[in-house]
């Protein structure tokens, strides 16, 4: 049986959630599922991959993989692919980057951020374009199909029958040219930089309606009262009112909180792309016809600088009482 | 001295809604303004900074219709000093075709005496989102490539590039020149055009190039939009008097601490 190869990204806990989504997604192709792990995998990884239906785990290790070089990873993917007919990874920055290298090496097309397989033979997929606001149906006609799987294309789920994978150490010879662009150093991030935003249960969103760099005090207080994170529109970051790591949208973070409170945000599709998965959306806007208002579940019409302080006061009153 | 080539793509500035063309193959942009991706705005800014710091030239390139001159002039107004229009229907070009057309220009300019130490692109185009033109270009030119760069500095015959790491930290690359870098928004603030900048931009002669060969295309079958949901918004009230209703909702949703 021919195979699908999945480049698996890992963190301390095993395969990352998006990689597990990708493994779940590709099981639908009805092919033998192989995985490639680069560098030291966390303990228990092979068993976890088996639970997701992986039958062979290729492992690339050695000097070329001690720090990240996309071209070296691509060399490993090509070595692991063998006669696989599909090569995939999660649609993360790294997944898309490595697969683009792989596509160049194999001389094939690459489709980024696939959410659905429309037909298996001939292979046709739907993928996210316009920042996820639309889908493109695309043919993949090469002998090897290379595509990344968009985050949240499916929920991660273990296979019905677990496999016991064969571990196959890969012998990859990585030429010097593939190490020209290699990480020479890393620096840790600020602990609260966007990490909190992406996983927050409540996001208070703020747009141009905040009015200026001094217009955020009430919004930050509301964020605090709800134990949430502040997210902002691109107008806010490009005017320098707030830092870029707080930006939500196509070129910022994607968030999916239980509640998104959109204050003074018009709801341009590039912003919507970053928060449309929120369970409940409450819009606060002076314009009853703003797209954010018409698309929201709930809305309050009026000036956020009057409404937000009143909400804060009511929250404080009820928690005291 | 480092010459920089920066590649931008004219795209519709979408508002709150998307309408497709009748054939379902594209976005109906007849009533829309146009722009470039924020990633490319940052790439243009970095190109101008590098050129200035090293006494080199920043040249902007686009593959598109003659309308894309608008985006080239904007980049010239910001501080690019040369512009190239590869005049073609961008929608007939897949990412491999675009990379080949850019590589042709790089080689032609090199033959004419201008070499580019850096080619900057966006990490992903805001319409097609292929995430690959820069990487494909690097293979065609046999140059190293780093994707997703947020800041960079040229240091002699190397470029130091910084970008986000999967764990939220920063990864630093030191790459020999010439190199290709794809840029992601977030590291720098793009400047606004000045009035003298706009005046100067008007006088620059834009180099027009005809693409060689027929493009293979992007394999697009059609575009699909999510179904439009009728508005189901429940208006809780107007002005500060609605605060009680808002907090009732917050309590109902279980998000009050
Ligand atoms: C390729 C591309 C990528 C992009 N990526 C992103 C992205 O990642 N994230 C992003 O956010 N944008 C992005 N944008 C920009 C996007 O198109 C919009 O320009 C931006 O989201 C608008 O921000 P805004 O809603 O804050 O401002 P505006 O559109 O100006 O809206 C302001 C809103 O505030 C309301 N308002 C004004 N005053 C008040 C008040 N006192 N009280 C209450 N309401 C008030 C107004 O009625 C209006 O609805 C991108 C654009 C492009 C072209
Ligand atoms: N038609 C084009 N003209 C010039 N540059 C382009 C064009 N299409 C894509 N690019 C560049 O390639 C980057 C990545 O595009 P893509 O791989 O299609 O997502 C974009 O951000 C641009 O910098």
A138/B164 CB distance under 8 A: no
Q: Are A237 and A244 in contact (CB under 8 A)?
A: yes
CA angle, corner A222, sides to A216 and A228, nearest 5? 105
Describe the strand order of the beta sheet including A229-232 as a list of residue ranges: A229-232, A202-206, A259-263, A280-285, A298-301, B234-238
Average pLDDT over residues A155-172: 94
Query: Which pLDDT tens digit goes with each residue over A56-89?
Result: 999 999 999 999 999 999 999 999 999 999 999 9
Residue A291 CA to ligand 1 center (angstroms) comes to 10
Cβ B180 under 6 angstroms from ligand 2: no
Preceding peptide of A122 cis, ω within 30°: yes
For residue A194, pLDDT beyond 80: no
**Confidence tier at A189 by pLDDT (50, 70, 90):** confident
DSSP B117: S
Question: Can you read off the two tokens belonging to residue B21?
Answer: 């063309």
Give residue-wise pLDDT tens across range B235-248: 999 999 999 999 99
Helix (H) or strand (E) holding B188: none
pLDDT at A152 over 90: no
- Find out whether the beta carbon of A170 lies less than 6 Å from any atom of ligand 1: no
Question: Does A130 contact B27 at a Cβ distance shorter than 8 Å?
Answer: yes
Q: Which ligand sits nearest to residue A265's alpha carbon?
A: 1
User: pTM for the full model?
Assistant: 0.94
Q: Give, in order, the Cα–Cα distances in Å from A136 to each of A304, B27, B113, B128.
A: 38, 11, 41, 9
| Contact flag B94-A109 (C-beta cutoff 8 Å) | yes
pLDDT tens figures, A12-69: 889 999 999 999 999 999 999 999 999 988 989 999 999 999 999 999 999 999 999 9
Which tens digit of pLDDT belongs to each residue from B210-240? 998 899 999 999 999 988 888 999 999 999 9
What distance in Å separates the CA atoms of residue B214 and residue B224, rounded to the nearest whole number? 27
Tokens at B154, concatenated: 């040229």
* A206 CA distance to ligand 1 middle (Å): 9
Cα distance between residue A170 and residue A175, in whole Å: 15
Q: Which residue is closest to A198 within chain B, CA to CA?
A: B168
Residue A202 confidence (pLDDT) above 60: yes
Q: What is the ipTM of this complex?
A: 0.94
C-beta atoms of B219 and A268 within 8 A = no
The reply to whether residue B233 touches residue A299, judged by beta carbons under 8 angstroms, is: yes
pLDDT of amino acid A193: 56
What is the average pLDDT score of chain A?
95
Residue A85, classed as helix, strand or coil, is coil
pLDDT at A186 over 60: yes
Tally A–B CB contacts below 8 A. 261
Residue B106: CB within 6 Å of ligand 2? no
How far is Cα of residue B163 from the mean position of the Cα atoms in its chain? 16
Question: In the predicted model, is pLDDT for residue B138 greater than 60?
Answer: yes
pLDDT for residue A192: 58
Q: What's the mean pLDDT in B36-49?
A: 97
- Reported in sequence order, the residue ranges of B145-202 that DSSP labels E, i.e. its strands, are 145-155, 158-164, 170-176, 179-183
pLDDT one-digit tens code per residue, B81-117: 999 999 999 999 999 999 999 999 999 999 999 999 9
* Mutational pocket test of ligand 1: of A209, A212, A218, A245, the residue with most ligand atoms within 8 Å of the beta carbon: A209
In the predicted model, is pLDDT for residue B124 greater than 70?
yes
Q: Is the separation of the CB atoms in A222 and A247 below 8 Å?
A: no
The total of other beta-carbon atoms located within 10 Å of residue A11's CB is 12
Residue A134 pLDDT exceeds 70: yes
Q: Which residue of B has its CA nearest to A235?
A: B38
pLDDT score of B209 more than 80: yes
Dihedral sign from CA coordinates of A251, B230, B254, B245? positive
pLDDT value of position B226 = 84
Q: Give the tens place of pLDDT for each residue, A284-307.
A: 999 999 999 999 999 999 999 999
Helices then strands, each counted (H, E), chain A: 10, 17
Under the banding of pLDDT at 50, 70 and 90, the label for residue A195 is low
Whole-number pLDDT of residue A228 = 95
* Closest residue to B238, CB basis, from A227, A272, A301: A301
pLDDT of residue A191: 61
Average pLDDT taken over every residue of chain B: 96
Nearest to B175 by CA among B206, B154, B148: B154
Give the residue, out of B5, B8, B9, with the most ligand 2 atoms within 8 A of its beta carbon, to mutate for a pocket test. B9
Going by pLDDT thresholds of 50, 70 and 90, the confidence category of residue A190 is: confident
Question: Helix A70-81 vs helix A93-106: angle between axes, to the nearest 10 degrees?
Answer: 60
High-pLDDT (> 70) share of chain A, %: 98
pLDDT band at B1; cut points 50, 70, 90: confident
């Amino acid at each position: 049986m021919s195979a699908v190869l999945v480049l698996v990204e890992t963190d301390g806990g095993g395969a990352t959630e998006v990689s597990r989504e990708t493994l779940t997604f590709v099981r639908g192709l009805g092919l033998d599922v192989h995985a490639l792990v680069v560098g030291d995998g966390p303990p228990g990884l092979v068993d976890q991959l088996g639970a997701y239906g992986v039958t062979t785990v290729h492992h690339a290790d050695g000097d070329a993989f001690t720090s990240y070089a996309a071209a070296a990873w691509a060399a490993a993917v090509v070595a692991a692919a063998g006669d696989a007919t599909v090569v995939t990874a999660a649609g993360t920055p790294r997944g898309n980057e490595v697969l683009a290298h792989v596509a160049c090496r194999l001389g094939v097309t690459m489709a980024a951020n696939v959410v659905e397989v429309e037909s298996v033979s001939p292979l046709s997929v739907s993928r996210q374009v316009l920042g996820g606001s639309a889908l493109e149906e695309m043919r993949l006609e090469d002998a090897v199909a290379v595509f990344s799987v968009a985050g949240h294309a499916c929920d991660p789920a273990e296979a019905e029958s677990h496999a016991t994978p064969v571990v196959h150490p890969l012998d990859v010879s990585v030429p010097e040219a593939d190490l020209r662009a290699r990480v020479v150093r890393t620096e840790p991030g600020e602990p609260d930089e966007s990490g909190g935003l992406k996983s927050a249960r409540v996001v208070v969103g703020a747009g141009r309606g905040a009015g200026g760099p001094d217009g955020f005090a009430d919004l930050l207080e509301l964020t605090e009262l709800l134990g949430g994170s502040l997210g902002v529109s691109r107008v806010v970051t490009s005017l320098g009112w707030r830092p870029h790591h707080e930006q939500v949208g196509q070129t910022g973070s994607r968030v999916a909180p239980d509640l998104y409170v959109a204050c003074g945000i018009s709801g341009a599709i590039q912003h919507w792309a970053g928060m449309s998965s929120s369970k409940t959306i409450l819009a606060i806007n002076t314009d009853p016809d703003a797209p954010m208002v018409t698309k929201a579940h709930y809305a309050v019409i009026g000036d956020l600088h009057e409404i937000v302080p009143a909400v804060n006061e009511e929250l404080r009153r009820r928690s005291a009482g | 001295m480092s010459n920089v080539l920066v590649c931008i793509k004219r795209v519709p500035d979408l508002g709150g809604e998307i309408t497709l063309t009748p054939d379902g193959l594209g976005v109906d942009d007849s009533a829309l303004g146009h722009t470039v991706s924020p990633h490319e705005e940052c790439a243009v800014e970095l190109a101008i900074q590098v050129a200035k710091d090293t006494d080199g030239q920043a040249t902007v390139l686009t593959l598109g219709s003659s309308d894309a001159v608008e985006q080239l002039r904007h980049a010239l107004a910001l501080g690019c000093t040369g512009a190239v229009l590869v005049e073609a229907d961008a929608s007939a070009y897949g990412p491999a075709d675009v990379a080949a057309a850019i590589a042709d220009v790089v080689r032609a300019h090199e033959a004419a005496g201008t070499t580019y130490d850096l080619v900057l692109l966006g990490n992903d185009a805001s319409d097609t989102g292929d995430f690959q033109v820069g990487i494909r270009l690097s293979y065609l030119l046999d140059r190293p490539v780093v994707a997703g760069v947020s800041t960079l500095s040229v240091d002699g015959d190397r470029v130091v590039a910084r970008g986000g790491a999967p764990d939220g930290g920063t990864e630093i690359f030191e790459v020999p020149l010439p190199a290709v870098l794809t840029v992601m928004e977030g590291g720098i603030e793009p400047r606004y055009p000045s009035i003298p900048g706009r005046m100067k931009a008007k006088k620059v002669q834009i180099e027009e190039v005809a693409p060689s060969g027929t493009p293979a295309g992007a394999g697009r079958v059609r575009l699909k939009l999510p179904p439009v949901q009728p508005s189901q918004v429940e208006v809780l009230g107007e002005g500060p008097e609605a605060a009680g209703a808002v907090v009732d909702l917050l309590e109902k949703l279980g998000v009050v601490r």
